[in-house]
Amino acid sequence: MSELDRLLEGAIALDKWPLARLVRLFEDPRPAAVPEKAAAIAGLEARGAAPRAMVAGYTGTPGSGKSTLVGQLAARLISRDPAATVAVLAIDPSSHRSGGSILGDRTRVHFPIGERRLYFRSQASDRELGGMGRATYPVVRLLERLFAYVFVETVGIGQSEVEIERLADRVYLVLQPLGGDQVQFMKAGIMEVPHAFILNKSDVGAAARRSYHALRASIDFARPGEASPPPIFRTSALSGDGLDDVLEDLIAHRSTHDAEARRARDCYFFEKWVRDEYGRFGLDLLEQQGGADALLAASGSFEAAQAAYRAPVAPPAP
Amino acid sequence: MSSPNDPGPAAPERLPHRLYDADGNPTVDRPWIFRTYAGHSSAAASNALYRKNLAAGQTGLSVAFDLPTQTGYSSDHPLALPEVGKVGVPINTIEDMHQLFEGIPLAEMNTSMTINATAMWLLALYIGVARERGEDVRRLQGTTQNDIIKEYLARGTYIFPPEASLRLIAEMYEYCLDNLPKWNASNICSYHLQEAGATPAQELAFALANAIGVLDTIRERGAVSPERFPEVVGRISFFVNSGIRFIEEMCKMRAFVELWDEITRDRYGVQDPKQRLFRYGVQVNSLGLTEQQPENNAWRILIEALGVTLSRKARCRALQLPAWNEALSLPRPWDQQWSLRLQQILAYETDLLEYPDIFDGSVVIQSKVDELKRQAREEIARIEAMGGIRAAVESGYLKSQLVRSMSERVSRINSGELVIVGVNRWTDGLPSPLLTGEDGGIFKVDEAETRRTLEALAAVRAKRDPARVAAALAALEDAARSGKNMMEPSIECALARVTTGEWADTLRRVFGEYRPPTGVEGQRLYVDNERVAEVRRRAEEFVRRTGHRPRIVVGKPGLDGHSNGAEVVAVAARHCGFDVVYSGIRLTPEEIVQSAIEEAADVIGLSILSGSHLELTRQVIEGLRAAGAGDSIPVIVGGIIPKADHEALRALGARQVFTPADFDLADVMSRIMDVVEAQAGVSAR
């Protein structure tokens, strides 16, 4: 058995060390890593590990208690449902001119020890303001073949919500009580995207009640005439109140991208990859090569399409 | 009788440099209370030590508890086992407490207990011992440290969230007011803030804002009537640090006295000047004590003691001095005696206690004091604007301020701007004969004592009345849930022979456990030199060769909460281009292993200051192997690690060992990079 085969078998059994090393492979941005990623996806397909996860996105401002909340939701989900498996991908916005970062999200929760069904991974976003990193989509493509749920946690400040909407089957916006100022909720223009809202830290009493009504009003204002307005959940990560309501919402809306939606998603992130790596000129080249859709269809997988894409800069001669 | 015109006998002339008593007779001051922070191994061993110290002329006790006792675990808990008796005495039940104070009349003693999250429990045990002995509980004198804010910020032995923790403190004040009138229910600590990097102005501001937070909490609860509230204000006492800049430290103490007088008068309307006194005890600074040329620390300790004794107006009530070898290991009894002798010489041989305040009228001193007061007032106003001390802790503001000050300090040592003799100047010294004794100048806990502690715990469990235990714990839980004062139920728990772990677990169930902000996010290091640039370059080369950024998991296993070292390394690693996973303190070795495995770390950095480095390092390395990672994630260890243990750690598999002597962060990061490169089989050198 090759090294890659051993990693794949281990990861399918949810053995953490091989799984973690596979994630490392999918985070590798170098062109040289593309063939091995493509081989890994093919190997997973061959072993019947097709995409099956519901991808849930949790976004919100720093300080909303999002990290603790997401960690606890994951831990609670696997304790409620003995068949559930959950991977959490926590994207940390902190960046530094050295390129290094502090990945602090693990701080917030004590996870059960030795539990195969729960995997937590931190990832540095390469952007100052949060949102997803370059490696987020590739890693989600791996994790969605191994787990029943993939939770992606990002810091959202307004620009990255579109990406999380493309990535996730259901998007939750986590907010903290704001002392009742309706305008605060409207500021970032992030009201349109989420499927549901979570008002966290609802243990703080009167401020939380006022915020709830202000948020309700803000949603009605930002999204007028919606047949079924998005729910607002009130939670307290400290006491655990309201977490079950969120999980029930999650389970009730459990869906996964169908084949067509998945191709649209691949298309979107393929173009994003080309743009991030090679800029406008790269996109022009992509058009000349028939466009993302055609390239993906011809190649069979996202990774294979990455391998097939003829990049603007020729690879060094062998 | 004399008429108003009769001058009477001429009043004796009063000289400004003399002290006079109430009757006008010349007098001298009584010295402060001499203490030594002590306790180790077991209740019996610590009792023997206390009796020896008292016989040597010590006038009060300062009890050091081990980490399990401080964090609410009985000695037989898996998290506790490696730490039993290491940094203090283990107390599991009232039987241990009886043993600890055997032959020491409680009503005659002034006992200070360094205990915080479990302070209510330890006070309940102390009261329980007094009751069972038939001593007068109202005469008990002393202090439970009981300051939770600095635990969140610096010391790390918190258990419960802020609201519940402040409630425990408030209830102790309310109970003591009626039942233990001479007891200081808590000690507002600025000591640990300085250890964590606070500047004098920050130390003043954070401590005073903390005291305001405690008093506001008690006032808002309304359990104490407004008429008696000034008594509560009068019971607030402080625990302060004294550093090497002793003039500034002395001014800081004068600023404390003046600011506290203002706050108690203006904010709380306290009329009686006695209730406005700034009463404080001191432990002089341990942060500045060096591992290199450790004999120099004796002079540092002396100078730091001067800072809190020279000015009569701002003189401490109690003083405890560290030992010269604290940066190497826990002190031996002889080391502690040497420090006690310093106090005795200062108080009895010199003329220090014969004068009124010798700085009154000094323009220089007053100007410095005024400047500190102004800076402190500004910072207090900022904290108040944020919603007070609790909000400033929960938002991470205070912690990030401290981590920043600490990074600045370390950066200044690294650049040589801050001179530390024997560390970054005059580093070549002759070998110290103090370290050449049979024991290498360090202290070792006798493992047999741990066994005795565990046997005693098992014996109590076997012979106590289970029905009384269950009833006592149920009553405690009921009080915790219903908002009743938990002090009496805790005393009943003590009498029923409930264990430390059972008491704390009951309250954990009700209040939950807290994890405060780590303060490392958004921090930067103020070191930029060629060598840092070189490590950064190597990190970039590592990214090119491996496709990922070097990733370090910084972990603090065990119960020790002194996180400064881990935080500085976390910030430095990011500064050098690492991705850093830092999960805060009090992790089990299993949790650290799990983090490192799941995150596919390139290296694990363990920080251990409790003396349990061998055991914890072994558990992490074995855990990695058990998880299938073999030896592919290298482990490095930092902390207060005696030379003799370095080889043992390497034999266990640790790839590098760092001690306080490794203050040069560029060098530390370079050595970590060596380990990471070697493991990945790449090198940029």
Looking at residue A169, its pLDDT comes to 93
Q: Which domains does chain B have, with CATH numbers?
A: 31-395+430-435 (3.20.20.240), 530-680 (3.40.50.280)
Q: Which residue has the higher pLDDT, A63 or B513?
A: B513
Q: Is the pLDDT of residue B4 over 60?
A: no
| Chain A residues within an 8 Å CB radius of B520 | 102, 104
- Look-up of token digits 């803000």: A218
Query: Which pLDDT belongs to residue A304?
Result: 93
Name the average pLDDT for chain B. Answer: 91
Among A234, A252, A270, the domain boundary falls at A252
Helix A16-27 and helix A3-12: axis angle, to 10°?
120
DSSP secondary-structure letter at A169?
Answer: S
| Higher-pLDDT residue of B405, B579 | B579
What are B158-207's pLDDT values in tens digits? 999 888 999 999 999 999 999 999 999 999 998 888 888 899 999 999 99
pLDDT > 70? residue B528: no
Return the closest-CA partner of residue A113 out of B623, B501, B555, B614. B623
Q: Which of B574, B598, B627 has its CB closest to that of A98?
A: B574
Chain A hits for B542, Cβ within 8 Å: none
Taking the C-alpha atoms of residue A223 and residue A66, their distance in angstroms, rounded to an integer, is: 24
Distance from CA of B599 to the nearest CA of A (A): 6
Q: Is the pLDDT of residue A318 over 80?
A: no
The arithmetic mean of pLDDT across residues B525-536, rounded, is: 80
User: Do A6 and A146 belong together in one domain?
Assistant: no
Identify the pLDDT of residue A315. Answer: 46
Q: Are residues A243 and A267 in the same domain?
A: no
Which of B17-31, B49-63, B404-418 is least confident? B404-418
3-state secondary structure of B482: helix
A contact test, residue of B536, B581, B585 with most A CBs within 10 A: B581
Are A141 and A217 in the same domain?
Answer: yes
Least CB–CB distance from A20: residue in B575, B584, B597? B597
For B611-654, the pLDDT digits (tens) are: 889 989 999 999 999 999 999 999 999 998 888 899 999 999 99
Pairing verdict, β B110-114 and B318-320: unpaired
pLDDT tens per residue across span A36-71: 999 999 999 999 999 999 999 998 877 778 888 999
pLDDT at position A187 is 54
Question: pLDDT-derived band of residue B105, with 50, 70 and 90 as boundaries?
Answer: very high
| A6, A98, A129: best to mutate for the B interface, most B CBs within 10 A | A98
Question: B539 CB near a chain A CB, below 8 Å?
Answer: yes
> pLDDT tens digits for A129-176?
557 888 999 999 999 999 999 999 987 655 556 788 889 999 998 888
The percent of residues in chain B predicted with pLDDT above 70, rounded, is 95
Residue A274 pLDDT exceeds 90: yes
CB contact under 8 A, B580 and A101: yes
> d(Cα B624, Cα B596) in Å, to the nearest integer?
9
Q: For residue B585, is pLDDT > 90?
A: no
The residues of B annotated with a catalytic role in the active site are: 37, 191-192, 556, 560, 562
Kindly report the CA angle at B357 between B247 and B359, in degrees rounded to 5? Answer: 40
Q: A203: distance to nearest CA of chain B, Å?
A: 12
Q: Which of A18, A29, A121 sits opposite B599 (nearest CB)?
A: A121
- Does A22 share its domain with A110? no
Q: What is the pLDDT of residues A185-230, one digit of tens each?
A: 555 556 777 899 998 887 666 667 777 887 887 788 778 778 788 9
User: A28 with A151, same domain?
Assistant: no
pLDDT at B681 over 80: yes
**Inter-chain CB proximity B588 and A113 less than 8 Å:** yes
How confident is the model at residue B2, as a pLDDT?
44
pLDDT the model gives residue B1: 42
Within 10 Å of residue B543's Cβ, how many Cβ atoms?
17
Degrees (nearest 5) of the Cα angle A269, B541, A308? 35
For residue B574, give the nearest of A29, A101, A119 by CB distance.
A101
Q: Are residues A179 and A302 in the same domain?
A: no
Higher pLDDT, B523 or B371: B371
CA distance B594 to A14: 13
Among B522, B576, B581, the residue with its CB nearest the CB of A98 is: B576
- Tell whether A43 and A59 lie within a shared domain: no
What CA–CA distances, in Å, run from B83 to B24, B156, B228, B419, B599? 55, 15, 42, 35, 28
Measured between CA atoms, how close is A286 to chain B, in angstroms? 25
A68/A15 same-domain check = no
Q: List the single residue in A with minimal CA-CA distance to B599.
A: A121
Six token digits for residue A41:
């996806």
Same domain, yes or no: A164 and A215: yes
State whether A113 and B521 contact (CB < 8 Å).
no
- Predicted confidence at residue A217, as pLDDT, reads 79
Residue of chain A minimizing CA distance to B536: A98
Distance separating alpha carbons of residues B106 and A36, to the nearest angstrom = 73
Question: Which of A16, A34, A109 to probe by mutation at the B interface, max B CB count within 10 Å?
Answer: A16
Whether residue A125 is found in the same domain as residue A268 = no
Q: What pLDDT, on a 0 to 100 scale, did the predictor assign at position A181?
A: 47
Q: Which of A252, A278, A299 is the last residue of a domain?
A: A252
Average pLDDT of every residue of chain A: 86
Q: Are residues A112 and A43 in the same domain?
A: no
Q: What does the pLDDT read at residue A101?
A: 86
- In this predicted structure, what is the pLDDT of residue A76? 94
Q: The CATH number of the domain where A227 resides is what? A: 3.40.50.300
More confident residue, A133 or B255: B255
Q: In this complex, is the C-beta atom of B627 within 8 Å of any C-beta atom belonging to chain A? A: yes
CA-based nearest distance B458→chain A, Å:
28
**Positions of E strands within B48-173:** 61-64, 110-114, 141-144
Q: For residues B262 and B12, which has the higher predicted lDDT (pLDDT)?
A: B262
Residue B215 pLDDT > 70, yes or no? Answer: yes
Cα three-residue angle B312-B112-B264, rounded to 5 degrees: 55
Facing residues of A119 across strands? A87
Q: CA nearest B501: which of B545, B457, B439?
A: B457
Give the Cβ contact number of residue B428 at 10 Å: 6
Q: How do residues A56-109 score in pLDDT, each as one tens digit?
A: 999 887 777 888 899 999 999 999 999 999 999 999 876 667 788 888 777 767
* pLDDT of B363 over the 50 cut: yes
Q: Please give the structure tokens belonging to residue A220.
A: 């009605």
Q: Can you give the residue range of the structural domain that contains A198? A: 54-252
Helices (H) and strands (E) in chain A, counts: 12, 8
Short-list A242, A153, A154, A253, CA closest to A198:
A242
Reply yes or no on whether the pLDDT at B529 is more than 60: yes
Cα separation, B601 vs B606, in Å, equals 13
| Pairwise CB contact (< 8 Å): B576 & A28 | no
Q: Contacts of residue A114 in chain B, CB cutoff 8 Å?
A: 590, 594
Chain B residues whose beta carbon lies within 8 Å of the beta carbon of residue A10: 628
Q: Into how many domains does chain A fold?
A: 3
d(C-alpha B270, C-alpha A121), whole Å: 55
Residue reference for tokens 């009833």:
B471
Q: Looking at the structure, tell me whether residues A244 and A265 fall in a common domain.
A: no
Q: Which residue among A252, A273, A298 closes a domain?
A: A252
Q: Which residues of A touch B (CB under 8 A)?
A: 10, 15-18, 20-21, 23-25, 27-30, 32-33, 63, 94, 96, 98-104, 106-108, 110-111, 113-114, 119-122, 124, 238-239
Alpha helices in chain A (DSSP H): 3-12, 16-27, 34-46, 66-80, 136-143, 161-167, 182-186, 206-222, 243-252, 259-288, 291-299, 302-308
Whole-number Cα distances in Å, A273 to A57, A267, B8, B153: 20, 10, 101, 42
With tokens 């500021």, the residue in question is A187
Instruction: Return the SS3 of A153.
Output: strand
Check CB contact of B522 with chain A, cutoff 8 Å. Answer: yes
CB contact under 8 A, A98 and B575: yes
- Res. B487: pLDDT tops 80: yes
